[in-house]
Amino acid sequence: AARVARRGPGARGRGARGGTSIGRQSARPARLPSARGSPTMSRRAHSAASSSSSSSSSGQNSGSVTNPFSALEGIESDGEIQEALSPPPRAPRKVRNPLVWIDLEMTGLEPEEHTIIEIAALVTDGNLGVKHIGPSLVIHQSEDVIANMNDWSKEHHQASGLTEKVRQSTTTMEEAEEEVLDFVRKHTEPGVAQLAGNSVYTDMNFLKKYMPRLTAHLSYKIVDVSTVKELARRWFPNEFRRRPRKKLAHTAMSDIEESLEELKFYKQKVFKRTKGRQ
């Protein structure tokens, strides 16, 4: 009897082993159909599984269940899904030690009597590497303003075609200031960027009168290439004679490019390090 009793549990275990196996198989969740190689089918299967899971949960719980994929409803392409899940774009990084190069073409040299007819801008870092090229805008002026140009401006702006561009332009002074200010704000911190260019003090005086908001964003300091040129002429005459010559196109952006190249020349040939010194 004892031997029978000892065999009894074993027999029951062997007899139940088949039932246990079946039970384990039936307890496994049914696999979704394979959709390998088909992104659309895979998404549908995933969505169906999520929907089924949500429905089941809602039947067991009184609280509502939020579908984590609800943000993707109505989206069909992979590109749209990627766009929906992507984080918002970061704000552009500000330039370190920036110089804001601005050149103006005016009807003369007196801010109280003359005005701005063209403006261009670009931003470099402290080592004169161009980081961002800004707008180049011709500003509309009336025939009375055009007639009030000084003799130099009449001759050169007529020859370059700028005078006719001023007549045809529809850009106002306020619109030009807004566009340049938006560009400068995007790439520089307030009060940090220094205005740079040739004889840039004259440009600053015109900006103060006609574009005060742009002036307020800039530093009170300026980098005037004309000053560097005059010092090089006095102290480094040999290097000065090899400076790049101006093309005299007299357009705002071309003047900026020439001023930038000139300062790069002085940086390399005049502001050079002495061997053995940092």
Among the listed residues 157, 187, 217, 250, the single catalytic one is 250
Assess if residue 29 is contained within a domain.
yes
What percent of the chain clears pLDDT 70, i.e. is strictly above it? 65
| 61 assigned to some structural domain | yes
Q: Is 250 a catalytic residue?
A: yes
The verdict on 20 and 53 lying in the same domain is: yes
Task: Decide if 162 is inside a domain.
Answer: yes
Same domain, 120 and 248: yes
CATH number of the domain where residue 230 is located: 3.30.420.10
Answer yes or no: do 77 and 185 share one domain: no
**Is residue 94 a part of any domain in this protein?**
no
Both 242 and 119 in one domain: the answer is: yes
Categorize the per-residue pLDDT at 231 as very low, low, confident or very high, splitting at 50, 70 and 90: very high
103 and 79 in a single domain? The answer is no
- Report the distance separating Cα 112 and Cα 91, nearest Å: 39
| Together in a domain, 135 and 265 | yes
Q: Which domain holds residue 71?
A: 2-85
Domain count, the chain: 2
Q: What are the φ/ψ torsions at residue 21 (nearest 5 degrees)?
A: -60, -45
Q: Which of 125, 117, 164, 157 is nearest to 141 (CA)?
A: 117
Task: Name which of 85, 81, 115, 119 is nearest 100 in CA terms.
Answer: 119
Query: Which residue in 114, 120, 109 sits closest to 251, CA to CA?
Result: 120
Whether residue 109 is found in the same domain as residue 60: no
Tokens 């900006």: give the residue.
Answer: 207
Q: Which of 53, 85, 117 is the last residue of a domain?
A: 85
Say if residue 261 is in the same domain as residue 168. Answer: yes
Last-in-domain residue among 85, 112, 127: 85
Q: Could you read off the pLDDT of 209-229 as tens digits, one per residue?
A: 999 999 999 999 999 999 999
Q: Are residues 163 and 229 in the same domain?
A: yes
- Answer yes or no: is 123 within a domain: yes
Q: Is residue 90 part of a domain?
A: no
pTM of the model: 0.67
Confirm if 145 and 115 have CB atoms less than 8 A apart. yes
In this predicted model, what pLDDT tens digit does every residue of 62-105 receive, in sequence order?
455 566 666 556 666 666 666 666 666 666 688 889 999 999 99
On whether both 260 and 129 belong to a single domain, the answer is: yes
Answer yes or no: do 189 and 161 share one domain. Answer: yes
78 is a domain residue: yes
141 with 14, same domain? no
**Which of these, 241, 260, 211, lies nearest to 106 by C-alpha position?**
211
The three-class DSSP label of residue 8 is: helix
pLDDT tens digit string along 157-201?
999 999 999 999 999 999 999 999 999 999 999 999 999 999 999
